Chains A and B, each alone.
Chain A
Amino acid sequence: MELFLVPPTSCPDSTLPQPSDPPRSPWWTLCHLSHHGDQPKSPLPRSWPGQVSRFCQEMTKGKNYALPNASWGPDMLSLYHEFLEKTKTSGWVRVPSFRSNRDHIQGFKLPLDLSANSDKSDWRLFTRCIEREGQGYEYVIFFQPSEKKSICLFQPGPYLEGVPGFVHGGSLAALIDETFSKTAYLSGEGLLTVNFNIRFKNLIPLGSLAVLNVNVEKIEDQKMYLSCVTQSRDQQTVYAKASGTFLQMHLEKDSSRQ
């Protein structure tokens, strides 16, 4: 879920998570789609925390964009394979990414009575809006459940330009938000954004690889506090630092669809 917030007082009480409710909604379908045949369709490791493994219940037919394509440069590919290896050895999860977040929540109700307006097939997730390979956002998120942290490998294309030759700050902010959003939900059903803060340090050249490191700093009073450092692969250049606060909320099953 991306950045938005409804003040808690305007939410019907039933939509706010109750302390006694265990997290039970499989928001994300984390699955090993192998469009490019690089990942066997094996069952998920039993070591995965229950919440994350509960997410992996349903295969989806939608295209998974979090897979290499011809536009990925050597930097992006090599780091991707490094983390792919970690998904087999150290508990990392590669987060699938679809054209719309609707693909992740089949069978579940959106909060705030949004369901009625959300079934438009031509609507797209902002960071997956540019179809052409290599022209816009090329990214993949890896999540580490045991440490509640994630890493996003980002290769920006020419359509994301701000200052000539460099990434538009707004486009970077959007991807940080996207990574926050997935991390927050996988770490504890963080759904609605309260606050987003970003400090830009250096420009990212178009076509280069930027690495976003996101951590959940704390969870308190139904709010999740996350941080992000965006830097070059060698960590010598910091591009931006950001923080975000998310409100925890879980989704109800949509009984009308059953």
Chain B
Amino acid sequence: MLRSCTAGLRSIWALRGRREGAPRLSTDLQPARRLFSTEKVIHKDWALPNPSWSKDLKLLFDQFMKKCEDGSWERLPSYKRRSTQESEDFKTYFLDPKLGEEERLSQAQLFTRGFEDGLGFEYVIFKNNDEKRTVCLFQGGPYLQGVPGLLHGGAMATMIDVALGSCTGGAVMTANLNINFKRPVPLCSVVVINSQLDKLEGRKLFLSCNVRSVDEKTLYSEATGKKLPLAILGLVSAVWGFFCLGRGGVDLVF
């Protein structure tokens, strides 16, 4: 039944994905080959240290990994795109068969994982299931600049959205986001985003977070957000929500 649904959606996808204004998949717009070259890249967990991580970030990471040892905390994995099976289904049902082999794989990738190491969003999220809260360690790289020398507020808003989403249990969409900025965040520094689920009202999830410096002395911003289950959206979204459910590390919020 899913196959017939998704096959039927193919024309919708082709229309939406390839309608006027869509980037041309021609030879002069080459996709980044490193993203499509191996399954390893697709399955790589990006929420792990790499050479671009500062000392502060690595130290905090180690501290939280220690907390994971007794099971009270867990580290959420984070992928650039969906699993092999999901990618296969995507290729079969959603891509134009006239495209070449390399082009059959979507150029699309999760926004916050689309940068080379250290240039964009470096982050890892730890979840405390008992207390229904998460801690996101975030280092904003040089491509996230706003005012020269400072993190772009929109980049901070993106991470706040991701962090709030990590407190929810499954596939959600963001309805509202409200952020009060208190202090600018220096570019390439590390901040800690503490998020929690405040209440559940029917299907609506009300969340809040604060963004602090590593030593907790500086409060950079505070935010609240409301999220809704993804399945409320149209059929296309619901189908993808099915594929994505349960993948704790994939950022489904938007």
Contacts and interface: CB of A to CB of B under 8 A. Distances in A.
Interface of A: 1-7, 10, 70-76, 100-102, 105, 110, 112, 114-115, 117-120, 122-127, 129-130, 132-136, 155, 157-171, 173-178, 181, 192-200, 203, 205-209
Category for how many chain B residues contact A: 35 or more
A199 B152 contact: no
B183 A135 contact: no
Contacts, number: 259
Contacts of B177: 169, 173, 196-198, 200
Interface stretch (B37-45, B110-118, B201-209): B110-118
B144 A163 contact: no
A168 B254 contact: yes
A200 B174 contact: yes
A173 B157 contact: yes
A8 to B, nearest CB: 11
A255 B231 CA distance: 58
Contact of A166 (B158, B161, B254): B254
Interface of B: 13, 16-24, 28-29, 32, 82, 90, 106-112, 114-115, 119-120, 142-159, 161-162, 173-187, 230, 233, 236-237, 240-241, 243-244, 251-254
A178 B251 CA distance: 23
A171 B251 CA distance: 13
Nearest to A74: B20
Contacts of A178: 152, 154
B108 A3 contact: no
A120 B142 contact: yes
A177 to B, nearest CB: 4
A167 B181 CA distance: 24
12 contacts: A4-B150, A70-B29, A71-B29, A73-B21, A75-B21, A100-B145, A114-B147, A162-B251, A162-B252, A174-B154, A205-B19, A208-B22
B144 to A, nearest CB: 5
Contacts of B150: 2, 4, 114
Nearest to A114: B149
Nearest to B115: A129
Contact of A173 (B24, B148, B158, B237): B158
B218 to A, nearest CB: 11
Nearest to A71: B23
Contacts of B154: 2-3, 126-127, 170-171, 173-178
Nearest to A244: B153
Contacts of B230: 163
B142 A122 contact: yes
Contacts of B114: 130, 136, 159
A200 B176 CA distance: 6
A195 B181 contact: yes
Contacts of B159: 170
Given A1-B146, A6-B183, A162-B253, A126 B152 contact: yes
